[in-house]
Chain A
């Protein structure tokens, strides 16, 4: 059932992220629903599920956008692994945790995505506008990440997905 909930989460997040238009005043930032889903699995679930979520969410984002295949998967998996490293240092049940992690991840991911796209000559925007987009993405992540955590957590509880959380340190 874990994988079914993940699949549903990926599809719904992708559709919501595509439908909600970018906000001009926030540097054309989009609501990062897919990133928020990966963060949920990074902070609440097994490392394997986090990697699978990162791969799937990244693949879907690349397929539904003009980003070359694989870029988002790579970035989401790296982001999830980094977030999972700090899992033991934060209060998982707190409402502030998803807000902080969401904002930080969205901010950093915007710049990393920009670097990868500029390297391939796929975007041509000023660096200053990327700052605005990064702040905008962080602001939107502060709103959508807790909502994603709450909904996905509730779905997991309803279907009884309670599995042992294994740390990323167990794989070293």
Chain B
């Protein structure tokens, strides 16, 4: 009985000790725990995805043919557009050479796989990817997909994995620019999951992402493209953020706010790129 009583006091002491652990040690402990759990999360995620795909293939078999037809049409359109872009690219190179500009290098991208969604508490919008410091990943690196910006790597980067804070997280702040109008703003997440594409589901769900402090005289139209402005130092310039869904004046009347639909499909992330520059 006495031994058990002392055990209670020991546990209370342990709680007090871990509450006062220095931040670097806490970060190392979290990183080590994430590395230990990552293989299990990876396996479970693969199993769940496999079951989901099997179920989807059974329940949506009748939609497969229509989808195939649409995809073939889209491939044909994209091939035509690619030819136009290649021609424009060649002309661009020629003009830059004539003006003696330095040739713009492509960014160095690291392909990563998403092995877990969200953290155990649910207070943050995060995903875990299967690459870490051993692959050159550092804190505060931009993470993107082919469609647009996903988020940034967090401080606790371990050797084999790291957490990515999504753009829809409530603590996410991104310096942005409306591509057509050129107006600057600050995009912030609302802590709500986002589908990424403007469709019926997005119309009925809560706004996940909006830009504040836009010049009140700027011309902001629906479906305007929003990209990163490069200010702030974390996100490189020119990465697609999303599309304007609607814009209103804010409560102060000094600035305009724009609700944005993220360009990247954040609900179905499978593979992402980390910009290693």
Contact = CB atoms under 8 A, between A and B. Distances in A.
Contacts of B65: none
A1 interface: no
Given A48-B7, A69-B26, A124 B171 contact: yes
Interface residues of B, number: 43
B118 interface: yes
A64 interface: yes
B55 interface: no
Interface in A52-92: 52, 54-55, 58-74, 77
Nearest to B116: A18
Nearest to A34: B120
Given A24-B193, A70-B21, A77 B120 contact: no
Nearest to A170: B1
A129 interface: yes
A46 interface: yes
B203 interface: no
Q: Which of B7, B21, B34, B122 has the most CB of A within 10 A?
A: B122
A47 B6 CA distance: 12
Contacts of B15: 55, 58, 70, 73-74, 77
Interface string B232-269: 00000000000000000000000000000000000000
B123 A113 contact: yes
B154 interface: yes
B205 interface: yes
Given A55-B11, A63-B29, A171-B8, A30 B18 contact: no
A68 B156 CA distance: 12
Contact of B8 (A47, A72, A129, A133): A47
Interface in A1-17: 14-15, 17
Contacts of A71: 19
26 contacts: A15-B41, A17-B120, A18-B118, A19-B44, A19-B48, A22-B122, A24-B206, A28-B122, A28-B123, A28-B192, A51-B8, A58-B15, A61-B121, A64-B37, A64-B119, A65-B120, A66-B119, A66-B124, A68-B26, A69-B19, A70-B20, A77-B15, A122-B171, A123-B191, A129-B191, A166-B1
